[in-house]
Structure 1
């Protein structure tokens, strides 16, 4: 299954190489040496050298945690009676299987036992209530035209500005629907020509949570909960952003900061009191039991180092083809991607060179030269949570108000670095990120 999935990418391999060459030509026409030099200029990083320094420092420490986790998976495989080799060699297709087994054997995390406590309708409602409290807004379900009967629409307002905008939640899969969870800004907010009235923003949350059946409602996994919390963070960023001009919308925020606010909000799914609040057994109505809640929290970092290394090798590939100043059409991108996946990502495919680069869709969806933003954002998100919410209380209304006013509301109308400094009360630090990984 792993190999078959990777081989889907074969037709796209030449397109990625061609796209990288066209981006290089476009950047050089504008007077830049490389596409990365062009792309980084309007990011927090500023230039490719700063991205390289950030990633080098990060990789040195992340590799320690990643190698430690691979060693744990190797031992599990060595003990597996169903593995005929007995050598404990971990291949790329082994990783997810043994990560799940690690969760089950060491932490007693059973997703099938967790799902009944996370009915989708209840969870989404509770997440909306969470954002109401955190951001000092009011969310009301409304009956307005939508594109499918399963889509829900909501009106958002507050006591200061009144009506803020609309959000749409498109939660369930259907034919020909986008299958990647994401946020779609539908309309930007801006000050109208009369200088007084405003055009209100709107945004869509897209997920594909299981529909359920006649005998059982739609249920979420804990990861689904995390994803919905994250993506609704982007949605409310669209709604809370106050700009005079439509061009200063969510997608105009420095690309290497746009993920950080929503990444920060993922921290709430690891808080026992929040898990209690968000959960409700679809039959008994009881919240998630303490033993399951504690198991989920204890297993929080399982797979995080390996996933971090995945993002690092993908970013290394991105920089390799987009920070080149000469012809890149001759580069064997499939081989390069495969080598980096093995060397940095610790994901070995043996003698197989798979065209997995062809399903690295970020290279064709606006993340070229900027895939580093995920790890960059994780460092800032950990710092924001540790410095303010962990110290002042995860339900502290004053901290939530500061977060809205200093991070969400200004959006791209001021530099993200300045917004961070104002919210943190100091220069940002990577200490909280490394502390969470225990490296």
Structure 2
């Protein structure tokens, strides 16, 4: 590893004398990135070459440990660059990202397809039982060997050449896909007049006015951010505007021109099939699921089909209720997708006496952050202290020092508001992951959201779904912050894709508890706590419109699986394929997928959730069953259960098989019926 020098002109090769060693963002110029990548890649190549040519016989220390230690500078650089590329992607950052994608893929291939390295790893793997390894070391060795094999290490030379080409091209396509979606989201706007926003609640008018101000305009501007689109679709009486906005929203990535993703998806699916075939799998789904809890596409479809049938029945009942409400108000036309949220809100008000405009002032962003922190304190004994002396990459970012038993365990960054340079959605990421291999390394974790930014001086108000998203991502954040493992490979959220959502989805449950709402759901204007009667209504209505939500999600997961279960994608038309698959499934009228194919970034901006969008539902089986363990004790903060949850899930990373980890926490395997009960699709026994 190159020694860092205080006099180096490039900040990535200087020591960072900042709190927790976070990046000195103010010192990093756009022109620093390219030379930093060149130097960091060269440094890592030299480190890997030293391992491959080591004349000593392979040992765990000189091969596996050495591979884990190598690439420190590159990891530090990537931790900064790719977080910025997701949350503050200027044109210059995007240009660098496009150039670096194939180079980084090529670099990864050079390592994973190096026969000298693989020979050393294989030699250790063949005699692993004789090495006296700890359980964590054994898991690292097993994963290292599998990673080499799944990258093509067992292929002949011709196969390796083709694998290199395929993976490098897929890296380019994934970057292109994400940037195309961001372009459509950041460039499409709709200017609204005073008449257009008549009848909208103040919080939404304020957000629309702020969006106009951010773009140097007067009046009101609608963007394609979910945190603005969904409230507008829910409360605007203007059906014509709802239709215009909805159609633009679902056409992201399919608007024609150079940001259209149709051809990108077709080529991606085709190359993923080829990659799977090279490795001996009939489909990409079969390849991808081999390293998950589900194991096979059949197991995934069994779960999704079981839910899909019940969700369609519930959605049909809901649609009939919406049509009846619409008719009572003089709208004698079929319920279209841009009508669903609007009339669903009216039915919800009628059945549960809940008004979104009445509810929203109770969900102040600052108070919800406090609620998420307090829940972590009560469960895991961690505390949070805001720091204003820590460098940040954008003025909106807030920083908190996280401690346990009085000792710092990491930094947490919260980046909560939408902006034109940030991709849509919400996510957790790490600027630096926890490890203890050569020295204790504390994690630096970030949660990124896209909440509508309020006008200056006004509190940011969330919907209940927004607040749930905040809790969800903070659950991921805790998974990274509480990690206590030796090896970087096993740190934090580096677990099976269909297990990684368990800690985050489980954490959502505490938001809806009276113990939390009564303390933190505080009205923005009156300062009064949410009344018990309103809390009761909110909890009673939690499964309202669940058929809609389940169909939205499950259709997306089923289409993802359909694309990646193809054995041949020659001549694939992704839009036609999506439509045909939805028709085969019997997609209910008046509904669309939560994420249509051209903007399905989970699946097509990289391999993360490809053939894996089902993971949220797979993990939901675990979270529904897991939270019931707390409920069964009569104390949702039960100390013993919280201890086991922390020890075997949140701190353990990928040190053991996920099903084993779950059983150590819960005491048994999960009960799939808990998912259907949670969603209200069947009644509890």
- Partner in structure 2 of residue 363 of structure 1: 603
Q: How does 1:11-410 map to 2 (within 5 A)?
A: 11-81=260-330, 83-85=331-333, 89-142=334-387, 143-159=389-405, 162-193=407-438, 197-214=439-456, 216-326=458-568, 328-341=569-582, 344=585, 346-348=587-589, 356-365=596-605, 366-410=608-652
Q: Tell me the number of residue pairs that the alignment of Structure 1 and Structure 2 aligns.
A: 428
**Contact kept in structure 2, 1:310 and 1:341, CA below 8 Å:** no
Q: Structure 1 residues 159, 146: CA separation in 2 closer, same or farther (over 3 Å shift)? A: same
Secondary structure, counterpart of 1:168 in structure 2: strand
- The equivalent position to 1:5 in structure 2, one of 249, 256, 261, is 249
**Contact kept in structure 2, 1:388 and 1:424, CA below 8 Å:** no
Q: CA deviation at 1:24?
A: 0.7
Q: Distance in 1 between matches of 2:313 and 2:656?
A: 37
**Contact kept in structure 1, 2:348 and 2:354, CA below 8 Å:** yes
Q: Distance in 2 between matches of 1:389 and 1:422?
A: 18
RMSD: 2.3
**Contact kept in structure 2, 1:69 and 1:305, CA below 8 Å:** yes
Q: What stretches of structure 2 of length at least 5 have no aligned partner? A: 1-244, 255-259
Q: Which of these two proteins has the greater Rg computed from alpha carbons?
A: 2
The higher relative CO (CA closer than 8 Å, separation ≥ 6) is in 1
**Contact kept in structure 1, 2:322 and 2:335, CA below 8 Å:** yes
Q: Structure 1 residues 24, 387: CA separation in 2 closer, same or farther (over 3 Å shift)? A: same
**Contact kept in structure 1, 2:360 and 2:462, CA below 8 Å:** yes
Q: Structure 1 residues 126, 319: CA separation in 2 closer, same or farther (over 3 Å shift)? A: closer
Q: Distance in 1 between matches of 2:584 and 2:531?
A: 41
Q: CA deviation at 1:345?
A: 6.9
Q: CA-to-partner distance for each residue in 1:323-378, whole Å, 9 max, x for gaps?
A: 1222x13233212322444564744369x9xx942122222132111111111111
Q: CA-to-partner distance for each residue in 1:188-207, whole Å, 9 max, x for gaps?
A: 111132xxx31111110112
Q: Distance in 2 between matches of 1:389 and 1:164?
A: 29
TM-score (norm 1): 0.91
**Contact kept in structure 1, 2:269 and 2:564, CA below 8 Å:** yes
Secondary structure, counterpart of 1:154 in structure 2: strand
Q: Distance in 2 between matches of 1:90 and 1:135?
A: 46
Q: CA-to-partner distance for each residue in 1:9-54, whole Å, 9 max, x for gaps?
A: 3211221111010111111112211111110011001111211222
Q: Distance in 1 between matches of 2:554 and 2:522?
A: 37
Deviates more, 1:421-430 or 1:266-275: 266-275
- Partner in structure 1 of residue 197 of structure 2: none
Q: Distance in 1 between matches of 2:647 and 2:519?
A: 26
Q: Distance in 2 between matches of 1:336 and 1:218?
A: 41
Q: Structure 1 residues 105, 375: CA separation in 2 closer, same or farther (over 3 Å shift)? A: same
**Contact kept in structure 1, 2:476 and 2:504, CA below 8 Å:** yes
Deviates more, 1:19-28 or 1:220-229: 220-229
Q: CA deviation at 1:68?
A: 2.6
**Contact kept in structure 1, 2:451 and 2:462, CA below 8 Å:** yes
Deviates more, 1:210-219 or 1:244-253: 210-219
Q: Structure 1 residues 335, 94: CA separation in 2 closer, same or farther (over 3 Å shift)? A: farther
Q: CA deviation at 1:58?
A: 2.6
Q: Distance in 1 between matches of 2:456 and 2:446?
A: 27
Q: CA deviation at 1:230?
A: 0.9
Q: Distance in 2 between matches of 1:208 and 1:47?
A: 34
Q: Distance in 1 between matches of 2:311 and 2:580?
A: 18
Q: Structure 1 residues 339, 250: CA separation in 2 closer, same or farther (over 3 Å shift)? A: farther
TM-score (norm 2): 0.59
Q: Structure 1 residues 302, 338: CA separation in 2 closer, same or farther (over 3 Å shift)? A: farther
**Contact kept in structure 2, 1:269 and 1:275, CA below 8 Å:** yes
**Contact kept in structure 1, 2:315 and 2:588, CA below 8 Å:** no
Secondary structure, counterpart of 2:410 in structure 1: strand
**Contact kept in structure 2, 1:36 and 1:369, CA below 8 Å:** yes
Q: Distance in 2 between matches of 1:345 and 1:283?
A: 46
Q: Distance in 1 between matches of 2:630 and 2:672?
A: 15
